Every structure is written in structure tokens, then in C-alpha cells.
Amino acid sequence: MSDFVKLTYQNKEFEFPLIQGSENEKGIDIKSLRAQTGLITFDPGYKNTGSCKSNITYLNGEEGILRHRGYSIEDLCEKASFLEVAFLLIFGELPTEKELNLLNEEIKKDSLVDEDLKLILKSFPKAAHPMGILASLTSGLTAFNPSTVNIDSEEDMREAIIMLMAKFPILTSWTHRKVKGLPLNYANISLSYVENIAHMLFKLPHQDYILNPIVIDALNKLLILHADHEQNCSTSTVRIVGSSEAGLFASVSAGVSALWGRLHGGANQGVIEMLTAIKRDGGDTKKFMSRAKDKNDPFRLMGFGHRVYKNFDPRARIIKKAANDVLKELKINDPILNIAKKLEEEALNDSYFIDRKLYPNVDFYSGIIYRALGIPTEMFTVMFALGRLPGWIAQWSEMRKNIEPIGRPRQIYTGEKFRTI
């Protein structure tokens, strides 16, 4: 097979290298396109454009495959803890017991945030959306930890990574407590990473907080399922912000804002709002299906469709089973789950969705578990961010270590030609 691609333009022939990944994905290396031909490519939404080479996560959208550093998401959900998956994403291998213990100890040591961050928190109205609060608090970390990350120093990088892994869960819990009007909790370093997240979110001052193993297991699984997903919108944001040599905290803060959107991480909140609206409307799923197919109606079936998966999102399969298990174990009968299953059944048998290969994605069932765990709807995307943090850190580190050029796409100008006032 030739390892280049030919392009003919204005009766001249140009050759561009064909690059191939370890899973046989192929791409045309067009780094010299403009220099050779004067042309640029045009690809709104980057549907056909690879922004980088990466060793972290592999997706196969046709076969519904998701792997982190070669391990399948199914295997990781069954056999690993969220902190082990975070270590795998960031450092490239699953940790030995010694490495995991060291990471745990370093995170516990750093599990405090500057008390003055409460001043930023205090300035928000209770009605503020948690994702806006979290983006500000994350950016605020830069103010209290001003040293930019020297990526040439392993020590500096590790310190920044530990700091973020330790402080981000505190910020997410403070965001939740602020919106609920509850006193802020501090980390309890006698607990595991995920137990501590539950403790900080739910511990009330006037009663003991008893850890429920079902809740902890479900949280662990949900965080793993959200940990990384190659070059999605928010991860691409973290990479492009970092490519200007902005710091890690500022880049992650930008990722939080990108994740907020309804078409991306905000979809998990959108799914529950949609299912609740269907329930309130009498449960007529067919009416909402028609709206989703009506081009004149901006309504979309939230939690359905994906830029890459043109088959089942493997995460949706795992979450759907976990939702059943958690509701059964917690003895919760949530009518929303039944509406979700009915909607899924109808969509999977509807030619509009079949023709467009629209399947349930990670967000379709995740909100049902978050509800069962007592997490309010407006906090669902914050929980997504908490899971995605190690992926953002890993991708940012990879981009900085590869010394990738600053991200700066070109455009096709279609505005006014030269004119005078």
C-alpha cells in the first residue's frame, strides 16, 4: 500500500504522507498543504480532522470500542478504582500498590484549598449554575498557586497534577454545598478518594454520614466511565488553551466551560429535564420523538447521538445496567427510568434514528443514577467534570510534552472586499 496520497489541482499533482496509527487508523498528513498548493482544508466542527497523535484513549465508533492505554472500559470498570484509572491515563500504566499508595498520600497531603477561595464562592448568588461556579473556582486556583507548570520538570508537573487531583473534588463539593445553602465540608483523609468525594458532597453537620458501598461503587464506576474520551469538545479546549502555554488550572477551567454546553457534558442534565417534561406531559414519548425528528423544531432527543459512536456507546451499556442495579439495591422505583427505557426502545426502532445511527450515549442513563445517589440535576455536569479531570490532565500533559504548536485554525473569508469609508 502506498504511504502517500496524491492530490491533483490546477493540472499539478501533489503528494502528502499517509500516516497510520497503532489501531490502523489512517490520516493524510497535510502539514505542507498550504505551502505546496496555497490551499487550506474546510471542515466545520472538525468532523474529518485529526488534531494530534495520542497514546491515551482509543475509540472505534463503528464497533463501539473504548480503551484507555489499551485496557477496555468494561475491564477497567470491573477491576479498577477511579484513582487507578486516573494514574493509568496520566502516567501511562496501571499503578503498582506502592505507586498507588504514594499517589494517595500525596493527594491527602494536598487536600486543602486556600480559605480565601471562599470569597469567590461567596460572591455567587445561590441560583448560579454550578458549572459557572466551578469554572471560576478552578481558574481561581491559578491565583492561589501562581507558579506556571514547568513541563520540563517531572517534579513540577507531578506537583501540579497532584494539586489538581486533590483540590478539584473539594471545589466540586463546595459548588454543590453553595447551591444547596449547606455549610462547606473539608476533605476527610481517612477515607478513599471516592469515599471522600461522597463525604464532602453529602455529610450534613447535624448527623453522621454513613458510607453506602452501593453509592461508592456506583460513583467509582461513573467517574471511570467519564474519565477520558480522546479529542471531544472540552478536551480539545483544554489542549488548545494549553497550547498557548496557559497553565494547567486555566486550561482545565476552560475545559469546564466547554463541557457545560447542552450538546456536550450538559446533556446529562438535559436528559433528565427532557424525561421529566415527558412525564409531566403524560408520558407521551411518541410526541417527543416526532418533535426530535421535526427539522423546524429545535428539540433534540437529549442523550442520543454521538459524533464518533455510530453504534452503541459502550459506556451507555454499562451505565444502563448500573442504573438498574443501583435502583434495585437502593429500593428506588423511579418512573423516569421506565420513560427512558420506553424512549430508547422507540428510538432504536425508528427509521429516522436508525438511518442516522443515533444511539443512546453516555449521558442518556447517567442522570438516573446521579438522581438515585441524591445528586441534584444541576450538579450532573459537575460530576461529569469530576470524572473527566484525569483525562484533561493526561491530554494536556501529552500536548505540552510533545511541544505541539499553538492551536490556530485558518478560515475561508466570505466578508466584504476592500472598501473605503
**Which residues partner with 333 through β-bridges?**
none
Q: Residue 361 Cβ, how far from ligand SDX at the closest point, in Å?
A: 4
Residue sitting closest to ligand SDX (CB): 305
At 320, the amino acid letter reads K
What 3-state class would DSSP assign to 411? coil
The residues with which 67 forms a beta bridge, in sequence order, are: 58, 72
Q: How far is CA 167 from CA 88, 163, 310, 344, in A?
A: 20, 6, 36, 38
Question: What gap in Å lies between CA 213 and CA 227, rounded to an integer?
Answer: 21
Residue 19: strand pairing partners:
27
Q: Rounded CA gap, 169 and 220, in Å?
A: 13
Per the annotation, the verdict on 43 as an active-site residue is no
The Cα 189–Cα 350 span in angstroms is 50
| Active site annotation includes 294 | no
CB of 289 to ligand SDX, least distance (A): 9
Smallest separation (angstroms) from ligand SDX to the CB of 212: 27
Closest separation in Å from C-beta 266 to ligand SDX: 8
Q: Which residues contact 2 (CB under 8 A, 6 or more apart)?
A: 18
Q: What is the DSSP letter of 337?
A: H
Nearer to ligand SDX, 120 or 348 (CB): 348
**Which residue out of 129, 199, 229, 363 is catalytically annotated?**
363
The catalytic residue among 68, 199, 229, 306 is 306
Q: Rank residues 16 and 359 by Cβ distance to ligand SDX and give the closer one.
A: 359
Nearest residue (CB) to ligand SDX, 24 versus 351: 351
**Complex with ligand SDX: residue 219 or 301, whichever CB lies closer:** 301
Q: Shortest gap between Cβ of 375 and ligand SDX (angstroms)?
A: 18
b/e per residue 172-185 (b: at least 16 CB within 10 A): bbbbbbbbeebeeb
111 vs 231, beta carbon nearer ligand SDX: 231
Look up residue 405 and give its DSSP letter: P
State which residue, 203 or 306, has the beta carbon closest to ligand SDX.
306
CA dist 221 → 21, 164, 213, 286, 308 (Å): 29, 21, 12, 32, 22
CB of 302 to ligand SDX, least distance (A): 5
Min dist CB 135 to ligand SDX, Å, is 17
**Closest CB to ligand SDX among residues 113, 135:** 135
Q: How far apart are CA 213 and CA 109, in angstroms?
A: 25
Could you tell me the end-to-end alpha-carbon distance of the chain, in angstroms, rounded to an integer? Answer: 57
68 in Cβ contact with 77 (< 8 Å) = no
Task: Give the binding site for ligand SDX (CB under 6 A).
Answer: 45, 229, 232, 263-264, 267, 292, 300-308, 356, 358, 361-363
Determine contact, residues 55/398, Cβ cutoff 8 Å.
yes
| Residue keyed to cell 492530490 | 7
DSSP single-letter state for residue 330: T
Q: Mind telling me the catalytic residues?
A: 306, 363
